[in-house]
Amino acid sequence: MLARLKQGVIQAEVALVNGRSVVSSLRQRMPLRVSSPLYPVSPRTVSFFIMNPAAGLLQGDQHRIYLCVKAGAQAVVLGQGATKVFRSPRRKFSRQFTTIRVEAGARLEYLPEVVIPFAESCLFSRTNILVASQASALFWEINAPGRVARQELFAYHKLDQQTNVYIDRELIGSDRFVLAPASIPAELQSWRKPLGLLHGYTHTGTFWTIDPNAEQALGQVLQRNTEAEAGYLEQLAGRCGVLLAGTKLTGQAYCFRALGPSADNIQAAFKELWQFFRNRLFNQPAWPWRKY
C-alpha cells in the first residue's frame, strides 16, 4: 500500500501592531508547522521556527511556504531541522515551493537548515523572493550531497533548485542549480578531488542579501586594498575552511556563493556574514543563535 502524499502548507503574515511585530495571519497544514512567536531581542522583531514533525519529504510530496512581512514589520524565521528528501524509486519529484514577500520598510531574515537529498531521491525546489525597493531581505540555502555519515555522496537521482529575486516586481536575479550525478562524466565524479565538479568540495550554499543601503554598507566585503592582501571574504573563507565568493547584482542586491567540506563549515561562514550584515545594514547586534 502506498503512503499518502503529504501536501504541507504554511502561509504566514507578519504585521506591525502598536510598535510590535506580530504573526497577524497564519494558515498551516501538516506536516508543516510554525512555532510560537519569540522575541529574543526586541518587540519590534518577531522570530519563529518552521517545523516538520514528519520524517521529511517523501516521493511525490509537496510543500508550499509563503512568508509575507507587511510594511514596517521585522521577522527572523529559522528552520528547526534539516530538510530530508527520501528515496524516490519511481523517480517522482518531491516538490518545495517558497514565496517570500517583503513590503516597504519591512525586513525578513529567513535562514532554513540544510537540504539533505537521500540516495535515489528527486527534489524540485522553486523560491521566489519579492522585495520592495525600500525593504530588506536575507535568505540562505545550503545543500548536502546526501547522508555523509553513511558515505552517501551524490547518490540522489536529481536536484533541481531555482531562486528568483524581484525588486519592485522587476526580476534582477535568477539562479538555477541542477545536478543529476549519474549523468556527470566519470572523470568529474571524483567529488573529493580538486578536478571534480565542485573542486573537491561536497556541500554548496547561496546567501542572498537585499537592502536599499547594501552598496554603501557592504562595498568593502567584495573589495581588497591590494591584490596581495586578503579581503574580508578571503579571511572569512580561511577561518571557516570554505571557498567563498560574492557578486553584486544591483546597488541593493548581493549574492554570495560557498563551497565547503560540510554543512557546518558553510553555516559557520554564513552566520558570520549574517551577523556582519545585521551590524552594517541594521545597526543591530548579533542574533542569539539557539540551535547549537
> Is the pLDDT score of 74 beyond 70?
yes
Give the pLDDT confidence score for residue 193 in this predicted structure: 66
Residue 105 to residue 274: CA distance in whole angstroms: 19
Of the candidates 66, 104, 64, the residue with the CA atom closest to the CA atom of residue 210: 104
Q: Would residue 2 count as lying in a domain?
A: no
Taking only the tens place, the pLDDT of each residue in 81-118 is 999 999 998 889 999 999 999 999 999 999 999 999 99
Of the candidates 180, 140, 154, 143, the residue with the CA atom closest to the CA atom of residue 273: 140
Q: Would residue 290 count as lying in a domain?
A: no
Q: What is the mean pLDDT of residues 237-248?
A: 93
Of the candidates 72, 22, 28, the residue with the CA atom closest to the CA atom of residue 48: 22
> Is the pLDDT score of 1 beyond 50?
no
- Number of structural domains the chain divides into: 1
All three cell numbers of 14, joined, read 507578519
Q: Would residue 88 count as lying in a domain?
A: yes
Give the pLDDT confidence score for residue 51 in this predicted structure: 93
Q: Would residue 288 count as lying in a domain?
A: no
**Lowest pLDDT segment from 4-13, 26-35, 114-123:** 4-13
Alpha helix positions (H), the chain:
214-218, 232-240, 263-282
**Lowest pLDDT segment from 86-100, 218-232, 242-256:** 218-232
Report the percentage of the chain scoring pLDDT > 70.
90
Query: DSSP string spanning 98-167?
Result: EEEEE-TT-EEEEE---EEEPTT-EEEEEEEEEE-TT-EEEEEEEE-SS-GGGT--S-SSEEEEEEEEEE
Give the pLDDT confidence score for residue 240 in this predicted structure: 97
Q: Which positions ≥6 away from 1 have C-beta within 8 Å?
A: none
Sorting pLDDT into bands at 50, 70 and 90, what band is 292?
very low
Q: Between the CA of residue 256 and those of 178, 188, 216, what are the distances in Å?
A: 18, 24, 17
Q: Would residue 18 count as lying in a domain?
A: yes
Give the pLDDT confidence score for residue 188 in this predicted structure: 64
Q: Which residue has the cell 543563535?
A: 289
Q: Would residue 1 count as lying in a domain?
A: no
Q: Would residue 15 count as lying in a domain?
A: yes
Q: Between the CA of residue 196 and those of 163, 187, 192, 202, what are the distances in Å?
A: 25, 7, 7, 10
Sorting pLDDT into bands at 50, 70 and 90, what band is 54?
confident
Instruction: State the helix-helix crossing angle for 263-282 and 232-240, rounded to 10 degrees.
Output: 140
Strands 107-111, 74-79: pairing kind: parallel
Taking only the tens place, the pLDDT of each residue in 183-224 is 887 666 666 666 567 888 999 999 999 999 998 887 766 766
Range of 51's domain?
Answer: 7-282
Q: Which positions ≥6 away from 105 have C-beta within 8 Å?
A: 71, 72, 132, 134, 135
> Is the pLDDT score of 2 beyond 90?
no
Of the candidates 82, 48, 66, the residue with the CA atom closest to the CA atom of residue 267: 82
Q: Between the CA of residue 109 and those of 48, 97, 135, 146, what are the distances in Å?
A: 11, 18, 11, 26
Give the pLDDT confidence score for residue 290 in this predicted structure: 65
| Coil, strand or helix at 242 | coil
Q: Which of the given ranges, 53-57, 124-128, 214-218, 249-253, has the highest pLDDT on average?
A: 124-128
Q: Would residue 289 count as lying in a domain?
A: no
> Is the pLDDT score of 263 beyond 80?
yes
